[in-house]
Chains A and B, each alone.
Chain A
Amino acid sequence: MPNRHVINETIAAYANAAIDGAYAAGGKEAVVEVRNQMLEILGFMSTNIDLRLACDDEGYTPEERESIVRGVFGSYNELLVNLLVVMASRCDINMLRRVYAKYEELTETKLNFNIVDVTTVVELDDNLRTVITEKAESDLGRDCLLVEHIDPSIQGGIIMETRGRYVDASVRSQLDRARLVLKEKTDGGEC
């Protein structure tokens, strides 16, 4: 079992390869696309243990593992698929989540921009995109690219998130806070 420095170096190598390849291929948009697809793959693997185990199973040959990865994720960005193939051939798929975290870190430290996930109930118009981007860039002090998500369950408002930093200005959270205040309020009663 390699020590943690070797593992960290391996993860950094994967992340650098991915971000450099993506940036070279399509600039920031490609970086964002790879990042989003990596996130999707992580979500998929977290709900499919058999697939995750199979990709790291030394009982299969490297070619068989490559075939599995290409068969499942073949429609994704080619750069990302190639990265996954290499990782699978070396039984390193279990490092993908840490590779993703490193990838996000590199977008900030290496490419000097942030990918901001924005969740709303309705689609953003250009005006809102501008307002939100300006707000994010003002807060973070660097360029920002928005990744938009539509989620009716937030009931309104907006949620912004980048690398674990979070602003929840959704109606759902406002209502939850109001509910909490109402439930904890004791004025006007005997208790």
Chain B
Amino acid sequence: MNATVSKFVRNCTSGVVAFAAASAVCPMSAFAEESGAGIEAILPQMEEFIPMLVAFIILWIVLAKFGWPKFEGMLEKRENTIKNNLEKAEEARQESERLLAEYQEQLEHAKAQAQTMLNNAQKSGEALEKEITDRARTEADAMIEKAKVAIEAEKRAAIKELQDSMADTSIAVASRLIGEDFSDEEHRKLIERYVKEAGNLNA
């Protein structure tokens, strides 16, 4: 159907072109007798019409034989080009749709992944925060405990030092009193008492 229409259009076009060419080749005035009146004023003269028709037919045949195939080739080529372009465009469109879908899928996947990562990061952050807090609390407790132990040790050491100092002082005072206040006789009495109270020399 398309081929028939195409051929008809092709023939008509060839005819019009041939007619225009014939008019150009035979510039005889078809309306030379414009001065006539009535219907004759618009009817061609036979002596002009026939050569013009012959020229037209000849031209039509020539164009149909030689001009049209080239024109048809160009059209066909153009048609193929357009067709190819359309196919390519369709392919490109399909490809782009596929890519778009793929990209959307990837995007969705990326969004999901990002959300997962965000959730994980949030969880990790919370866990890390808890861990840091716990560790800091533990360390603080340990430091406090250590400080308490150190304070207690210092306190004990100070008390022990004071106690030792008091003991040394007391003993020093007692020694001095004995050394200065005891007469020889008192010493001898003390010796005698100690000898009687002393343990067995053979033990």
Contacts and interface: CB of A to CB of B under 8 A. Distances in A.
B175 A135 contact: no
Nearest to B182: A156
Interface in B178-203: 178-179, 182, 184, 187-188, 190-192, 194-203
Contacts of A175: 171, 174-175
Interface string B151-195: 000011001100110111011001100110010100110111011
A72 interface: no
B187 A120 contact: yes
Nearest to B164: A183
Contacts, number: 99
A156 B187 contact: yes
Interface stretch (A6-14, A42-50, A125-133): A125-133
Nearest to B186: A156
Contacts of B200: 139, 167
A171 B198 contact: no
A14 to B, nearest CB: 28
A21 interface: no
A189 B163 contact: yes
A160 B198 contact: yes
Contact of B163 (A152, A176, A183): A183
A132 B199 CA distance: 12
Contacts of B199: 167
Q: Is the interface of B mostly helix, strand, loop or mixed?
A: helix
Contacts of B202: 139-141, 165
Contact of A135 (B159, B164, B195): B195
Contacts of B159: 189-191
A169 B195 CA distance: 7
A182 B160 CA distance: 10
Interface in A145-176: 152, 155-158, 160, 162, 165-167, 169, 171-172, 175-176
Interface of B: 155-156, 159-160, 163-164, 166-168, 170-171, 174-175, 178-179, 182, 184, 187-188, 190-192, 194-203
Given A156-B187, A169-B197, A171-B175, 13 more contacts: A120-B187, A124-B188, A125-B188, A139-B200, A141-B202, A155-B179, A157-B191, A157-B194, A158-B194, A158-B195, A160-B195, A183-B164, A185-B163
Interface of A: 116, 120-125, 127-128, 131-132, 135-136, 139-141, 152, 155-158, 160, 162, 165-167, 169, 171-172, 175-176, 178-179, 182-183, 185, 189-191
14 contacts: A124-B191, A135-B198, A135-B201, A139-B202, A140-B202, A162-B201, A166-B201, A167-B199, A167-B201, A169-B197, A179-B171, A182-B167, A182-B170, A183-B164
